[in-house]
Structure 1
Amino acid sequence: MSTPIDWSRPWLQHLRESGEQVAKSNACGLSLHQALSIVPGTAIRFGPQHALPAGQAYEQFIFETSTVPTRDNLHDFFNGLCWITFPQTKKKLNQLQAAEIAKAGVQPLRGPVRDALTVFDENAAFLIAPQPLWDALLARDWKMLFITLRPLWKDAQLVLFGHALLEKLVYPRKAITAHVYRAQSAMNSIASLGDLDASVAAGLSAGGLAAKPFTPLPVLGVPGWWLENENFSFYEDSTVFRPIQTTKTRSVSQKPLPNPLI
């Protein structure tokens, strides 16, 4: 893995210590799975991709062996860092995946629970913020969220979890959007990453995730995360900062149009 990573980015600070260590070990000749395995306190094993038997589901293999098959690429680099940083949440996601596979096997279509688990694992973020910011985010009132309530962001923290999301942000683009998940604690105050990990893991369930408890957030809109958002015209791009879509329904008294095929 030779991709340069700018560890000064604000969205990487929670991964910086372990990330720099793994990247350095990898650059010195260790394979990525070896470099991840020697991080102190790692609660999961990492192995080469070829350890995954042909035909076996990736998540089922992790569940049965406590070993994460790892390729030498940026995607699996961030996946490994997330296993190291959020071990309880990653383990709970894996348990839920394995339970769904045990019930239905590996199907061409994942189903609502496995779909939601995948979205969570690949693209989730956690927001610790005062209630007014939450209200504005859920309403997708971007002007309120990022301009009117901008001073409140000093009391907020966005923590990125999804490894595909982190991979995309190595090359930041305005349109990159996280699926923000709100844990049962409402995440108004979290003392440490360990507390955050425990809180999120405790709140995860198949039924809860099937309801897709996510809300979109273009991450480069966060104050202090991207210089361009200091100019508030940044938020006027409706292709990125989209309003909630409303579905128009036909009045029950309106007669249906005739079907020309009848």
Structure 2
Amino acid sequence: MSDRENAPKPESARMASHLANTRAAQGFMDIDWSRPWLAPLAERGERWRRAALESYPAYLSTLNSDAHTDPHVTGQGKPLSFIAQDELPAGASYEGHIAETGCVPTRYNLHDFFNAAMWFQYPRIKAALNAGQAAEIDVLGIGPTRGAARDALTLFDENAILFACADASLAAALRAFDWRTLLGEQRAAWGLRCEARIFGHALLQKLVVPYKACTGHAWIVEVEPAYFSASASDAGRRAILDHAVSERLKSEAISSRSFTPLPVLGVPGWWPENEVPSFYDDPQVFRSGRRSPTWRAPEPDVEAAASSMLKSLSQSRPGSRG
């Protein structure tokens, strides 16, 4: 059978597009801004959601209006803007195109909705990730696999949780998978000496319809106790994290070993059911991992989770997105 015979019929293509848009619209309607992990995005996000429910062009126009009034730059210093996915030139690398032009190809779906949101929440981190990806592409090109460096950058971009911490013992408990200490005995420390902020846009997409096993890759950020002072604003805390993490991404190589799993619904205050101590008795979610706080070899469950997530992303994205 020829390629022409294999090509989708116009009616079939229209039907597929309609179904995809219907699913996307339902996804936008499912967003609940009262969720603790989504609340920081609510003010801007609700405007974006209303525009998305109006139309794809209205949605892109709203993103670009915000990019004009609240300007940021991509990995090579180009002014940030948003374009339809179809405007990405054939054969072009997604990250390379963003770095070179400032234009972020954006699909009409929740995944890219939250990706765009992170460009405004943490613009320096996003630019540093984009610069790292573009540099790897310049050296190695686009192939069937990303390579270890790009895998780690992608993992951060898609699934990272920023774990801000002013208490080394809490960071040690996280690294040791000591859930009883971190999420049980030290519940009162959350908001006073540590906190979690979702960065990964694929993780945010999953958490629109949360489930117990949903797990992010925590990136520990050491902060001063003043970070948690009552006078510190949400925007101020985000700015601290944005600066600190972006500088690390510029100066050090990362791998999957740089992260520690954190089951999102186990975070104190984030899910009513975790008020009951038995919530943490589920070994399929709250697994015992590393043997001690100082053992730094790669944890098999971390590696497996990262590999699975990256594989699913590569299958769901257009090939040019790399």
Q: Scaled by the length of structure 2, what TM-score is found? A: 0.72
Q: Deviations over 1:22-74 (max 9, x none)?
A: 11222234443222112241421001111101111100110110010001101
Contact 2:176 2:290 in 1 (8 A): no
Select which of 98, 121, 128 maps to 2:157.
121
- Counterpart of 1:182 in structure 2 is 220
- Give the alignment's Cα RMSD to 1 decimal: 1.7
Separation (CA, whole Å) in 2 of partners of 1:215 and 1:28: 39
- 1:90-239 equivalences in 2 (<5 Å): 90-129=126-165, 130-155=167-192, 156-183=194-221, 186-189=222-225, 190=227, 191-205=236-250, 207-210=252-255, 212-239=257-284
Separation (CA, whole Å) in 2 of partners of 1:31 and 1:94: 26
- Counterpart of 1:24 in structure 2 is 50
Task: Say yes or no: does 1:10 pair with 2:13.
Answer: no
Separation (CA, whole Å) in 1 of partners of 2:87 and 2:138: 21
Separation (CA, whole Å) in 2 of partners of 1:118 and 1:163: 11
Select which of 60, 64, 74 maps to 2:100.
64
Q: Relative to 1, partners in 2 of residues 1:89 and 1:54: Cα closer, same or farther, differing over 3 Å?
A: same
Moved more, 210-219 or 61-70: 210-219
- Counterpart of 1:253 in structure 2 is none
Contact 1:123 1:179 in 2 (8 A): yes
* Structure 1: gaps (5+ residues): 248-262
- 1:30-49 equivalences in 2 (<5 Å): 30-39=57-66, 40-43=69-72, 44-49=80-85
Identity %: 44
Letter in 1 for 2:189: L
**Which structure is higher in helix share?**
2
Query: How far is the alpha carbon of 1:206 from its aligned partner?
Result: 7.3
Contact 2:128 2:246 in 1 (8 A): yes
Structure 1 residue matching 2:289: 3-state secondary structure: coil
Contact 1:127 1:187 in 2 (8 A): no
Query: How far is the alpha carbon of 1:111 from its aligned partner?
Result: 1.2
Contact 1:60 1:101 in 2 (8 A): yes
- Counterpart of 2:119 in structure 1 is 83
Moved over 6 A (4+): none
- Counterpart of 1:250 in structure 2 is none
Structure 2 residue matching 1:216: 3-state secondary structure: strand
Moved more, 20-29 or 214-223: 20-29
* Structure 2: gaps (5+ residues): 1-23, 73-79, 228-235, 292-296, 298-322
Contact 1:223 1:230 in 2 (8 A): yes
Q: How many residues were matched structurally?
A: 245
Letter in 2 for 1:16: A
